[in-house]
Structure 1
Amino acid sequence: MDGKYKGLKGYSSLYFEKIAILGVGLMGASFAKAVRKLGITAKICGYGRNETTLAWAKENTIIDCYDTTLSGLAKGADLIILATPVGTFEKLAVEISPFLKQGAIVTDVGSVKGSLVYTLEGLMPKGVHFVGAHPIAGKDQSGMKASSDILYKGALCIVTPTDNTDLTALETVKALWSAIGCSVKTLTPEKHDEIFSSISHLPHIAAYAMINVIAEISDTFFEYAGKGFKDTTRIAGSSPDIWSDICLLNKENITSHIGIYIEKLNAILTHIKNSSKDGLIKEFDNARALRKKMNDCLHSNIEDCIDNV
């Protein structure tokens, strides 16, 4: 890529003259702060719906410049990050593709891959490469004011190449997330969506549902909520726009997994109705043992965990 390399130990070729970020919210702004701290780019530019918000980001040195047009944002960009809700990716890719320069890399921070990766690959002009990425990081708060230059530090980042992925672009994206502080692993887009439907998407849906259940029983009960309830439902504070897109784009996996969840709830419901303490103990003991196994797994090799999913 063009420009004089400023230097980053261990990543001698990792430098971008211009990084363009579509969506300067929690994920996009945290990415901007992380790459600025590394010193691997000359310019970080942002794009979003709210010019006032973008101006604030520039004033607070999250970004160096912003543009309210995709043509202006894309001009001269070596790396383009899609950090808007995943439901907007395809439309943005269509609109930005005529302005992308040869050799540019387009990647993302979205938590749905599957067919979306193949769609985005197909929308890239010749000489421009898409590489899907999903850093497993976030907060229950949204927006750039909640962003942090260490949001991704120590996180797992899943990269989802296909048979058509350019190998140089792939290695660049992997090196980028490694430099930011992530542990980088590779999955097919299909396997990614199957896994994260169960361990991420379903829990978010359950948390949203739990809050709505309590409200339906009596919203006055919330004032009695303790740490356990707050911990269990923390992720219900996540962005509805982001999570509605995720549900619709990964609907086949999610509907299947919700069905299994309902079956497990019904099994517990049956044991309670039948006053079956043995049945309840069996269900709870099994869950506790699996929770311990998961905890042990998180402290070992993630690939071993994936092989057993």
Structure 2
Amino acid sequence: MSEQVFIPRLAIIGVGLIGGSLALALKERGVVGEVVGCGRGRPNLEKALEMGIVDRYSRDPVAAVKDADVVFLATPVKSFAAVTRQLLPGLKPGAVLTDGGSVKAAVVAEVEPLLPDQIQFVPGHPIAGTEKSGAEAAFPTLYQGKRCILTPTARTAEGALDLVRRMWQAVGSDVVTMSLEKHDRVLAAISHLPHMVAYSLVNAVGSYDHYEENILEYSAGGFRDFTRIASSDPTMWRDIAETNRDALLEMMAQFEIFFAELKADIEAGNGDRMFEFFLKSKQLRDAIL
């Protein structure tokens, strides 16, 4: 691991699960000085202060980022550009702006052109989370043993990249770098598609009207485990679906091919093909455990 990082002042824009957990982890490891929170909801910010996630907060983005060495965007991705415009006057020369958004190409296209040369942007994405949101959902071990992907651009200085890399390493993440396009395609497959499937499955079962009662009430462990992520923030997932549309549609089409194959085998009563389908899936799944 690189030399230990220390961030004198960190501003978290959007103090929820992602931003709050980062702040708690950095504090626990003693690698951050002051943490300043910013958000629209005062009750959530008060909770963050009470939990020790932030040392103080401001609902004014300019005041929140004043003299901050690192600014972390943890709001829904479609808000990044608007938030950046708001906080830009408060950023000091040499400040590093980074984010935790699940989509990278669209974010970079909108945010990077807004920034002057003296402000460095390091796009990032910690691959960690739960279906819960808000400051109360934050916990310091969220990122331990998880991957964090950084997608530096041609404008990203090596020093800024190294600072953000060491920040994520300090909280226990395995940091990798990749291109914007690769990131968005990989995440469309391993994260965005599963969420779309989970949301669709809950709607499909919840809308089944063959019986008067809501059959979701009979759901047991398997259904609940599989659809846990459908309890995630709808605003966040609407934004992700809109900003990573092409890659997501490609993966949804891939899923439709395999689902149609399984449907045809079930319809034809082809047990051998179904067995091979299930066996291949099991082997692929077991290999990642």
* Structure-1-length-normalised TM-score: 0.88
2:243 aligned residue: 249
Deviation for aligned residue 1:80? 0.2
2:252 aligned residue: 258
2:32 aligned residue: 41
Asked if the contact 2:21/2:138 (under 8 Å) is kept, the reply is yes
Q: Secondary structure at the match of 1:42?
A: strand
Task: Measure the CA separation in 2 of the matches of 1:173 and 1:58.
Answer: 24
Residues 1:134 and 2:125 are matched in the alignment: yes
Task: Measure the CA separation in 1 of the matches of 2:48 and 2:269.
Answer: 58
Residues 1:11 and 2:3 are matched in the alignment: yes
Task: Measure the CA separation in 2 of the matches of 1:96 and 1:143.
Answer: 21
Deviation for aligned residue 1:103? 0.7
Q: Secondary structure at the match of 1:235?
A: helix
Deviation for aligned residue 1:10? 6.1
1:281 aligned residue: 275
- Out of 112, 119, 123, the residue aligned to residue 121 of structure 1 is 112
| Structure 2 unaligned spans of 5+ | none
Residues 1:223 and 2:217 are matched in the alignment: yes
Q: For 1:201-232, what per-residue CA distance to the aligned partner results, in whole angstroms no more than 9, with x for missing partners?
A: 00011001111111111562222222111111
Give the 5 Å matches for 1:71-150: 71-150=62-141
Task: Measure the CA separation in 2 of the matches of 1:150 and 1:220.
Answer: 37
Please report the RMSD computed on the Cα atoms of aligned residues, expressed in angstroms.
Answer: 1.6
Is 215-224 or 45-54 further displaced after alignment? 215-224
Task: Measure the CA separation in 1 of the matches of 2:228 and 2:52.
Answer: 30
1:303 aligned residue: none
Deviation for aligned residue 1:124? 1.3
Q: Secondary structure at the match of 1:252?
A: helix
1:206 aligned residue: 197
Is 88-97 or 187-196 further displaced after alignment? 88-97
Deviation for aligned residue 1:39? 1.8
Q: Secondary structure at the match of 2:208?
A: helix
Deviation for aligned residue 1:278? 2.2
Task: Measure the CA separation in 1 of the matches of 2:259 and 2:47.
Answer: 47
Asked if the contact 1:98/1:125 (under 8 Å) is kept, the reply is no
State the percentage of identical aligned residues: 36
Q: Secondary structure at the match of 1:217?
A: coil
Q: For 1:244-264, what per-residue CA distance to the aligned partner results, in whole angstroms no more than 9, with x for missing partners?
A: 111101000011111111121
Asked if the contact 1:97/1:125 (under 8 Å) is kept, the reply is no
Residues 1:235 and 2:226 are matched in the alignment: no
Q: Secondary structure at the match of 1:154?
A: coil
Task: Measure the CA separation in 2 of the matches of 1:292 and 1:53.
Answer: 40
Task: Measure the CA separation in 1 of the matches of 2:139 and 2:191.
Answer: 22
Q: Which amino acid aligns with 2:139?
A: S
Number of residue-to-residue matches in the alignment: 286
The structure, 1 or 2, with the larger RCO (C-alpha pairs under 8 Å, 6+ apart) is 2
Asked if the contact 2:39/2:45 (under 8 Å) is kept, the reply is yes
Q: For 1:255-304, what per-residue CA distance to the aligned partner results, in whole angstroms no more than 9, with x for missing partners?
A: 11111111211111111111222221232222222223333xxxxxxxxx
Give the 5 Å matches for 1:139-218: 139-218=130-209
Asked if the contact 1:115/1:189 (under 8 Å) is kept, the reply is no
- Out of 30, 33, 36, the residue aligned to residue 21 of structure 2 is 30
